[in-house]
């Protein structure tokens, strides 16, 4: 299930509190810029938000920027593109994703065309979005993801607005 569609009431609050306490302890001990602490800080932003709309996307984008400096990875950059798009709009995210298009490590990674399709949909480029979702579905390794991506492609083709 996509993050915006998750029911956060069902998230385990005890485990969230424990994670936030551990992150606070790591930050007090000077470990805030380590890759694991940065990943935990990103997760904490999601956990602190009662709804998807309340998520602090600019902070998440900044944390991914720092994570990319500490632990460079094309997957981190793809995640940063998502956060940037959520914070500053899909065009800003698409620019970052398009810069990753020739990255060899993402060549067979279904989430690259999936993310690109999502941005294109949000920009109203439904035919381009459909093609990206179809490409992502063909690359997905598990049935549930493949079905979700194929459904998003069909929705683009039908222009229902549920892509």
Q: 53-101, pLDDT tens digit by residue?
A: 899 999 999 999 999 999 999 999 999 999 999 999 999 999 999 999 9
Distance, CA of 132 to CA of 32 (rounded, Å): 37
User: Exposure string (b/e) for 115-125, b if CB count within 10 Å is 16 or more?
Assistant: bbbbbbbbeeb
Strands (E), the chain: none
Q: Percentage of the chain surpassing pLDDT 70?
A: 96
- Could you give the 3-state DSSP secondary structure of residue 161? coil
Q: What is the pLDDT of residue 3?
A: 81
Question: Of 52, 40, 51, whose CA–CA distance to 15 is shortest?
Answer: 40
Q: Is residue 117 very low, low, confident or very high in pLDDT (cuts 50, 70, 90)?
A: very high
Assigned token pair, 127: 């035919």
Question: Does the pLDDT at position 148 exceed 60?
Answer: yes
What is the structure's pLDDT at 160?
Answer: 52
pLDDT value for 162: 52
């Amino acid at each position: 299930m996509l993050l915006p569609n998750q029911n956060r009431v069902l998230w385990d609050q005890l485990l969230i509190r424990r994670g936030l306490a551990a992150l606070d302890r790591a930050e007090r001990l000077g470990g805030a810029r380590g890759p694991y602490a940065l990943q935990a800080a990103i997760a904490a932003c999601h956990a602190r938000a009662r709804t998807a709309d309340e998520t602090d996307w600019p902070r998440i984008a900044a944390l991914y920027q720092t994570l990319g400096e500490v632990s460079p990875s094309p997957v981190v950059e793809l995640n940063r593109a998502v956060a940037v798009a959520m914070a500053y709009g899909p065009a800003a995210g698409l620019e970052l994703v398009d810069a990753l298009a020739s990255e060899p490590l993402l060549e067979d990674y279904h989430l690259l065309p999936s993310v690109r399709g999502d941005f294109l949909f949000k920009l109203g480029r439904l035919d381009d979005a459909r093609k990206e979702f179809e490409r992502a579905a063909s690359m997905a390794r598990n049935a549930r993801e493949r079905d979700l991506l194929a459904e998003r492609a069909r929705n683009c083709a039908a222009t229902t607005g549920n892509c």
